[in-house]
Homo-oligomer: A and B are copies of this chain.
């Protein structure tokens, strides 16, 4: 067991022990968006599947109109008219053309398409007034995607655009990893559910709900385990029940060193191996991470901001690795700080901020109160500002490192 380690040590240790959940399932295209591909997807068909016209026009042979001029137009006979979705029965031979629509397959023999607007038609002939280079106005079979071309890799998230590409190559069922099951439970005699009345001395449980929402947003399967009293036996039983039905158990509260901080004892009692205890950062240093067989327990602080920050910095990379994603960490960058922060940071500190893309230099603004328990300032927050240990107060205009944790 490591204690009081750096964030990077914590992340590295945790990820080195995590293996992607390799259980696959096959879901309908409609259910695939947001899921993680479990296999390389190669195109069973090329795209487009055949050479076709990008416009409404006439398909013919470039050589038949090589000499065409406004004074001496080439006169070409219309032998068939087809529409997108249908294949011409005729072959285009010298002096003939097939009328077609946007998306129509190129008729055999033709190597160009001329727009309606560029010809004159009378009865069953067209007059063409100028030559056109071979292959003009033809979209070639396989131009976008070749047969067997890789269109997505295992570990890719299915986006709406990828759904479109999968559909286009005729893939109706999508191989994805099963959703990661994440059991979430809170500990604390002081906690009451939002649907209940609030007795004196009690507070509403918010972590359970915000963590559930964060897990749902990640396309995992969050399982609400409710709140457990500060009673070691009850915590032990709840942890065991949670481990039974999940890949990761996330707890909040009860991890400090106080007399009622029973989560560490419960973790020992169930024979889970503590991987590390305490990470050098603020807020959220009293985090404990343990493993029992191939399942993880991540015990977070009960303070709202502390729980959120450590969830983002440590639980999310673990969840992403189990999900089968290839990128575990939120993107990092630098930004211009738009606020003062008047405290020194003897410890490494993560401040909640609002990052904004700006052409003149991306900026980040402090998001209200930075206290461990503050909830309000997290509402619009999309970034964490990473302040190294031993930093003096920060001033507006300074360049800071940021982790992009939310939508921009």
Q: Do B56 and A164 have beta carbons less than 8 Å apart?
A: no
A-B contact pairs, 18 of them (CB 8 A): A47-B376, A84-B189, A84-B190, A84-B230, A101-B258, A101-B260, A103-B302, A143-B369, A143-B371, A144-B376, A158-B213, A160-B214, A161-B210, A164-B378, A168-B203, A172-B193, A359-B362, A408-B408
Binds B, one of A329-337, A339-347, A387-395: A329-337
Contact of A85 among B162, B188, B359, B362 (CB under 8 A): B188
Q: Which residues of B contact A258 (CB under 8 A)?
A: 56, 101-102
Q: Which of B256, B259, B335 sits near A359, CB closer than 8 Å?
A: B335
**Contact indicator B205/A167 (Cβ below 8 Å):** yes
Q: Is A145 an interface residue (CB 8 A)?
A: yes
A170 and B33 in contact, given A49-B198, A362-B362 (Cβ under 8 angstroms): no
Question: A residues within 8 Å of B by Cβ?
Answer: 29-30, 32-34, 45, 47-50, 54, 56, 83-87, 101-105, 139, 143-145, 151-152, 158-172, 188-191, 193-195, 198, 200-214, 216-217, 224, 230, 256-260, 302, 304, 308, 331, 333-335, 357-359, 362, 369, 371-376, 378-381, 399, 404, 406-408
Say whether B375 contacts A33, CB under 8 Å.
no
* Known contacts A101-B259, A161-B308; A139 and B373 CB within 8 A of each other: yes
* Listed residue (A151, A206, A216, A381) with the most chain B CB atoms within 10 angstroms of its CB: A206
* Residues in B neighbouring A145, C-beta threshold 8 A: 375-376
Report chain B residues within 8 Å CB of A209: 29-30, 163-164, 166-167
Say yes or no: B257 contacts A56, CB within 8 Å. Answer: yes
**Residue on B with the closest CB to A224?**
B30
Q: Are B201 and A87 in contact, with the CB atoms below 8 A?
A: yes
Bound state CA distance, A105 and B200, in angstroms? 9
Report the minimum CB–CB distance from A43 to chain B (whole Å).
9
Q: Can you add 17 more A-B contacts, CB < 8 Å, to A33-B217, A34-B217?
A: A83-B259, A103-B302, A105-B201, A139-B371, A144-B375, A145-B376, A160-B210, A163-B212, A164-B213, A164-B375, A167-B204, A167-B206, A167-B208, A168-B194, A331-B357, A359-B399, A362-B362
Closest 4 A-B residue pairs measured CB to CB? A164-B210, A85-B190, A85-B189, A160-B213
Q: How far is the CB of A216 from chain B (nearest CB, A)?
A: 6
Closest to A57 in B: B258
**Contact indicator B379/A165 (Cβ below 8 Å):** yes
B308 touches A333 (CB 8 A): no
Is B198 a contact of A45 with CB atoms below 8 Å?
yes
| CB-defined contacts of A195 to chain B, threshold 8 Å | 172
